[in-house]
Structure 1
């Protein structure tokens, strides 16, 4: 395991891949370093291992999904992490002598070193709500879904996506497709190119609409429709297995929803699949986590409009 861990951290330091707070993807369309390693040694391919990883990622909503994976690789039992400075200033705790740091990626720099709660000492009780962020809350989260959906739909035009509410029945959630050549839309005072049309039923309840939008964006950011810029997300149109594509998109939707404390149909889909199958499909875990991180970034921060998207 030590050799594998060193391989992971060295590869990440060299290639400087992104996390939920930093959107960078490999410029090629083949498997990334983590996917290659997982395929060689079988990491997370068993359903029970994948289920445990998903639960772990859910418990770290303040850390990008990709960074949560890195934490799980290094210490599956960690509960809450922060830098030594954050432990001191935010929680009045100090790092124990000899404690081993955990490596995560940071925006605009190679890595951050963080420490788990069990590697710190302090006089004050640690807030329980930080250890169990979704222990008590309204599982429907309708107001939060509306807010997050509004933020998301005000960001994705920068990715070349045009959003169209439609009068589908509630049985038809929506779809995303490649737009016609020459399509454009007005956004933030600019005329922008439209590469993808995203149609969703306006008749869906807020939670279902939000989860449906996440699912379709999961297809897009996982590269199932190709890409207009490989620096943004990969081109994986070569994947023809519909089961793989659906599993990846459902994972993206579930990760984002679950880290916001929202129950969605994706959770039932994944639970049923993992209950009925001993192994997961031949997915790209790297791509899934980066796609989920991209969506979280668009909800939390938005993104600038690339020059390549502007017509005027």
Structure 2
């Protein structure tokens, strides 16, 4: 009579465990553990078990197989009759094993960057070893999805001699105590993997076998002994499995044909059969290099009881140490290499662990794309740590996580958010705290609309005059955090360049800083240009700076552009010379003339000349010169031809007068009284000033460039004046010395001559 497998699986696992002689204790609720191996847990409510130390689990049949190391048929016989005696093949319906499918192929990463970093930093492996295994084709990095949780993983593939993937074990890269409270990282075998296969690696032409409990132990063993390994196949059992030893031993002796031609049961029995009927199984054929712990030693004793000849190669451990695997031993050896004379190995290991912990803490806080989610978190959920909006739907990854939407899938509602939803989005301070660059950009873009309705524009231009090297976005962002901002630098720059320190308790101001990243196509591959070089893009992240008012220390040196005379009057002549020199360099002639139209000056595009009205105040003259110079650079014939109708008169006047105000203010000339009255007229043309964000950027860029050019001229003029002063001083002193010498000679000539002879 055929056996009904499904009915057997319904047997109580608690009862089956007790019939196997397993002493169970309740851990909590429906969970029990085996007192002899406390990592074996039984879940009574689901009637399933999991043996964590061996990473196996399943139903009652698999429990019997795992605990007693017997075949499927023997386990079924036990559940039927309470005995492990052999049964006839026809008594059991064949089990339909679902074929293994490697579903992670589309999600493999083109590089092995994260996996390499984990194996090097966490496991102590070298690039040479990692590259060797990558070349074997059975090591990969991929993204794994479980529900809404995404994480990067290392894949150790089980590949048959025919090249087909028969299974795989997975190792998590990112630590996550929530998902994996016991281990901290994922460690599991993929569903439907061949239970008698494992991750393997050949050195030369294999003539012997070495078996390990885990792939990383296998790689660590290779790292330690690669200089002496010859003609050997290294095999990971992913636990302690005699069946894996049986399969790979039979395959080695038959050039891989045995497992392809025989049944599961035959493969399980192959090792014992070969040992009993042939002399092929010798002690130099098999080496057991499992963990040096209680469980592995029991496994070794059982192999000895079965009279299987083999060698033992366990990782050395000190007295009192309960467990030592090959990866732990590798890290211990590497720590020992770096220890100082007289320093204990345990102390070295502790110091190394402390250093690694510091590096991990820094790594956990890194946020490369500035979206408020750490790189580590982004890698774990599958978003791009170098792109603040992975799915490109207009909402940053951090906003989507906060809203509960999927950051990997474009959100169709992103463009249809209601007013209530918008008010629930983070505030400016929250966005800065979250380092949400895209969210900040959106808020500032909306804020630009208010610039002509208040004093904001004036404040903005004044800020540009103080911070000419910063972009329009950064100036607006700084103003939103500190309306009195005047001079900013990083914490280190204040110390190194200005010998000043940030006052205790000061909060940083945040600005955008560019960073470079590699571009990928829709398939996740790096984009390559015609020269075979990887194309790169520019992104922005938030970095901290501090205003001068937040610092203390050495007095700030006077800048070359501070042209006031003890704060009373600016140096008109010097500034005029610098501006005219810049205009001459641009091949734009400048002259003064009478202008009857009421204009203070104009730029003639046809003749490429600037005319300035005579008789104005010094401040008005300088401001007008700068205004017309801005026209000459922004609105010459070439620029106007390229811009076409887009460059209206309103736009041109807004740009030129704004630049004039910024540059004048930079050099200590207050022109706000007439600049903003002038701007008010042009600002009424709202249709011509629709793209305010672009206008602000143009104003900032032109003002910044003009200030740099003028500063260079001022520096030269200042140096020249000093040289002239020194020259004049030298000439004066030379004449004075000659005069003194002449006077001395004359004085000597006037002295009366003494008579010759003896004085009495």
| Normalised-by-shorter TM-score class | 0.5 to 0.7
Where 2:669 maps in the other structure, the secondary structure is: coil
Residue 300 of structure 1: how far off its partner (Å): 0.7
Where 1:154 maps in the other structure, the secondary structure is: helix
Q: In structure 2, how many angstroms separate the alpha carbons of the residues matched to 1:280 and 1:126?
A: 46
Q: In structure 1, how many angstroms separate the alpha carbons of the residues matched to 2:709 and 2:641?
A: 18
Where 2:595 maps in the other structure, the secondary structure is: coil
One of 192, 200, 203 as aligned partner of 2:615: 203
| Most deviating of 256-265 and 236-245 | 236-245
User: C-alpha deviations, 1:102-129, integer Å up to 9, x for none?
Assistant: 3458xxxx9996612499676x5998x9
One of 646, 655, 659 as aligned partner of 1:248: 655
Where 1:236 maps in the other structure, the secondary structure is: helix
| Most deviating of 247-256 and 64-73 | 64-73
Q: In structure 2, how many angstroms separate the alpha carbons of the residues matched to 1:40 and 1:55?
A: 15
- The 3 A distance-change label for structure 1 pair 119 and 294 is closer
Determine whether 1:163 maps to 2:593. no
- The 3 A distance-change label for structure 1 pair 146 and 94 is same
User: C-alpha deviations, 1:48-101, integer Å up to 9, x for none?
Assistant: 577325314424645316436414225622334113233224253148799575
Residue 137 of structure 1: how far off its partner (Å): 4.4
Considering Cα pairs closer than 8 Å and 6+ residues apart, tell me whether 1 or 2 has the greater RCO: 1
CA contact (8 A) 2:471 2:701 kept: no
Determine whether 1:64 maps to 2:479. no
One of 448, 451, 455 as aligned partner of 1:51: 455
One of 72, 81, 103 as aligned partner of 2:488: 81
Q: In structure 2, how many angstroms separate the alpha carbons of the residues matched to 1:153 and 1:104?
A: 34
1:270 aligns with: 679
1:187 aligns with: none
1:281 aligns with: 689
CA contact (8 A) 1:170 1:201 kept: no
- The 3 A distance-change label for structure 1 pair 250 and 299 is same
1:92 aligns with: 500
Q: In structure 2, how many angstroms separate the alpha carbons of the residues matched to 1:51 and 1:234?
A: 34
Where 2:637 maps in the other structure, the secondary structure is: coil
Q: In structure 2, how many angstroms separate the alpha carbons of the residues matched to 1:238 and 1:280?
A: 10
User: C-alpha deviations, 1:172-201, integer Å up to 9, x for none?
Assistant: 422111245xxxxxxxxxxxxxxx111112
Q: In structure 2, how many angstroms separate the alpha carbons of the residues matched to 1:40 and 1:121?
A: 27
1:33 aligns with: none
User: C-alpha deviations, 1:254-293, integer Å up to 9, x for none?
Assistant: 111222231222133236777x899993352111111212
- The 3 A distance-change label for structure 1 pair 156 and 206 is same
CA contact (8 A) 1:152 1:295 kept: no
- The 3 A distance-change label for structure 1 pair 58 and 41 is closer
What is the count of residue pairs matched by the alignment? 239
Determine whether 1:215 maps to 2:642. no
CA contact (8 A) 2:654 2:682 kept: no
- The 3 A distance-change label for structure 1 pair 104 and 92 is same
| Structure 1 runs not aligned, ≥5 long | 8-36, 181-195, 304-312
Residue 253 of structure 1: how far off its partner (Å): 1.1
1:144 aligns with: 571
| Most deviating of 196-205 and 85-94 | 85-94
CA contact (8 A) 2:601 2:610 kept: yes
- The 3 A distance-change label for structure 1 pair 51 and 93 is same
Query: What TM-score, normalized by structure 2, do the two folds share?
Result: 0.27
One of 545, 555, 560 as aligned partner of 1:115: 545
User: C-alpha deviations, 1:214-261, integer Å up to 9, x for none?
Assistant: 111222333x2333xx7xx99435335322222222111111122223
Q: In structure 2, how many angstroms separate the alpha carbons of the residues matched to 1:289 and 1:121?
A: 26
Residue 38 of structure 1: how far off its partner (Å): 7.7
Residue 209 of structure 1: how far off its partner (Å): 1.4
**Whose radius of gyration is greater, 1 or 2?**
2
Where 1:301 maps in the other structure, the secondary structure is: helix
Query: What TM-score, normalized by structure 1, do the two folds share?
Result: 0.58
1:177 aligns with: 604
CA contact (8 A) 2:605 2:632 kept: no
1:11 aligns with: none
CA contact (8 A) 1:156 1:298 kept: no
CA contact (8 A) 2:627 2:660 kept: yes
CA contact (8 A) 1:169 1:203 kept: no
Determine whether 1:102 maps to 2:511. yes
2:110 aligns with: none
C-alpha RMSD of matched pairs (Å): 4.6
Residue 297 of structure 1: how far off its partner (Å): 1.8
Q: In structure 2, how many angstroms separate the alpha carbons of the residues matched to 1:137 and 1:166?
A: 31
CA contact (8 A) 2:601 2:612 kept: yes
